[in-house]
Amino acid sequence: MVKVFKKEGEAQNALLFRFSKKIKQSGVLKESKRRRFKERPQNKRKRALSAQHRDSKKTEMDRMRRLGIS
């Protein structure tokens, strides 16, 4: 947990700047963003089917590009 205390005579903007700097240095923000969109792991079959689909789309696009049908 990041704690920042206001120094005597310190402006609010300076305190906010120090707080945001500490948050960035601690890595809390980066970790929360990484966890926000965590996906469940796919099983082997789904990964294989997805790879096959990508490969077939790629070959189809290459074939169309060669024929001049963009």
Q: What is the pLDDT of residue 30?
A: 87
Contact between 2 and 19 under an 8 Å Cβ cutoff? The reply is yes
What pLDDT is attached to residue 57?
97
Report the pLDDT value the prediction gives residue 15, as an integer from 0 to 100: 94
User: Residue 55 to residues 50, 61, 62: CA-CA distances in angstroms?
Assistant: 9, 10, 11
Which tens digits make up the pLDDT trace of 17-54? 999 999 999 998 888 888 888 777 878 899 899 999 99
Give the model's pLDDT for residue 9.
93
Q: Is the pLDDT of residue 61 over 90?
A: yes
Q: Does the reported pTM lie above 0.75?
A: no
Q: Where are the domains of the chain?
A: 1-37
How far apart (Å, rounded) are the C-alpha atoms in residues 66 and 70? 9
